[in-house]
Amino acid sequence: MLRFFQRLSQSCALRSFIGLLLTSALLLSLPAQAENEPVEPLPVTLPASHPPLDPTGGGYVGAQSCVGCHCAEYQAWHGSQYAQAMQARHGTDRAR
């Protein structure tokens, strides 16, 4: 088996293949060694805190204005957890 590898290593095809492999590795490594300038990250500005939401401003008319046309829907919604979720918190600044 050793003679087989010795003959194989002396063959012209193997030398050509190794040369091609080394040349390819060299050419592929050239772009990886190019010196690129580091990219500066974009500045991010975040507000210190979000302003509180005011449900009475900005066109909000309240749930009572819906009762006249959507009585059944209002009754189903009024006793639900969804109705409670839309109420403003009172007496605490801490989130639950």
pLDDT greater than 50 at residue 29: yes
Q: Which two tokens stand for residue 61?
A: 């008319």
Cα separation of 57 and 53, whole Å?
Answer: 9
Confidence at 10, pLDDT banded by 50, 70, 90: low
What are 51-75's pLDDT values in tens digits?
666 666 666 677 888 888 889 999 8
pLDDT greater than 60 at residue 92: no
In a domain, 7, yes or no: yes
Q: Which one has a higher pLDDT value, 77 or 54?
A: 77
Cα separation of 20 and 11, whole Å?
Answer: 15
* Domain enclosing residue 10, as ranges: 2-31
Q: DSSP label at 55?
A: T
In a domain, 23, yes or no: yes
In a domain, 40, yes or no: no
Alpha helix stretches (DSSP H) within 1-96: 2-10, 12-29, 71-78, 81-85
DSSP codes of every residue in 66-78? GTTT-HHHHHHHH
Q: Please count the structural domains in the chain.
A: 1
In a domain, 62, yes or no: no
In a domain, 25, yes or no: yes
pLDDT greater than 50 at residue 96: no
